[in-house]
Chains A and B, each alone.
Chain A
Amino acid sequence: MSRESRPDGGANVALLEAMSLTKTFGGLAAVKDVSFKVESGSIKAIIGPNGAGKTTLYDLLTGIYLPDEGSVVFQGRDIVGLATHEITALGIARTFQTIRLFPEMTVIENVMVGLHHHTRAGFVKSAFRAPSAMREEAWMREESLRILDIAGLEMQADNLAGSLPFGQQRLLEVARALATKPRILLLDEPASGLNAYETSELGEIIYRLRDMGVTVILVEHDMGLVMRISHEVLVLDYGEIIAEGTPDEIKGDPRVIEAYLGSELD
């Protein structure tokens, strides 16, 4: 139902463009000649069997790995070679497949770390509790509570992140990434380990993000979620794009079925 209601009215503005990205690890191509565009305001899903190179692709987009070849253009700027924190500051945030919260910090502190690059107070101002640092601190707390509210975690604000149930830890990862105020949010299997209720709640949150103007890329195995919320689906297998299109097109694509189920009568 929402596939038709894109905020940009289908202006086809490429927010992020990957051009023939290639990354090999010891002769094995984890990502091979992958090119795609992500339009502003869309939800794009990347699917594929385990080991298809989805997480590696994320690591290339966020500067954790340098690609062997190819480039990534974000808002008209080539971001290959930038450090991860610089890419985050430009507006690309991500979550992790294996949860990487700061477990010994409280829920709200986790989100406040996400606001790090929106604040300036350095060592000296922080140590002396300069008025500007205090104002920032108050702003961070307020803003974090607002973000926690979006994720439905405001009641947990002062609990340790590590003490949250698994599903809420996943949501906190999303909330923390959201705190960086990204233009584009890369979610890495956000629904894995969630029950049906939590998954549908996650879907609602992703919709809300889209309405807030955040473009979402979603790596996910939960096909129900993928088919329900994404505008476009990209299918990777052995590091290569084997299909790209709307969820309906993908559902019927024989190459996709082959990749997932093996070929018929081999």
Chain B
Amino acid sequence: MEWKQRHVLDLDTWKREELHYILEQTSSMDELLDRPIKKVPALRGKLVVNLFFEPSTRTRVSFELAEKFLSADVVNWSASGSSIGKGETLRDTAWTLEAMGADAVVIRHGAVGAADYLARKLKKSVVFNGGDGAHSHPTQALLDLYTAWKKIGSLERKKIVMIGDVLHSRVARSDIIGFSKMGSRVVLSGPPTLMPRSVDALGATYDPDPRSAVKGADIIYLLRIQRERQDEGMFPSLDEYHQIFGANESLLKLAGADTIVMHPGPVNRGVEIASNVADGSQSMILGQVRSGVALRMALLFVCLGGVRQ
């Protein structure tokens, strides 16, 4: 198919065929990762800049590995804090990168819309959103789709239950879009104080009780609980959170033996997920990490003009 998405900013503009196409491309890259020599020359001579304004280990390393396996030239642009705090605006950073000849820029930024902003300012480079505030994290959603698709096949009419801090989660926002576009039904659960106001605008439903929400679930997706949310008074204690909303064996039993468990990492053991669930046979957490590299290879390859017959 002809690839029409110039940037990867959010999945809201994607069609289901485009999602499928990327999943299939990811599948080929996934096979590559099993080879003794993983490096291919697909992006030789292309310059990819990783522009991370927020601390991130997983996403940054995953992108970097994907870029290196495809033989791109990789630059990790060190940036800290907001563009204002750094004394250079994001606009100037963008133009500097383009002047240096970047073919692609991966941006992780704490501000919502930073990737959209960068894409507006760059004339030639392709922008990959590595996460912007609590808004969007499209590559995480795509790797989650791939992980689930690989494990359970078609995602049509499947039920995914996301439990936790939806309010502050870019992962949740992008995953809800992605899974919905694939035909899945998304049910959200967690404390009401951690839910966005208009859940229906996301195309999801909300069930405050995780024990009823998980019934018949094909996928249970746990969202990371940040400790500062307790300090902000959004819920009384981590202990209470775990007791009521945490994924433990009894919750998993209510769902079923075939239900898979996913988590974007890093895991807070004993908060949103009990260790025996995180490490159990239904957990896909490490599979997600591996999928992340394959998915990012596929995206870079497709968006930077790679041709595959």
A and B found bound together: no
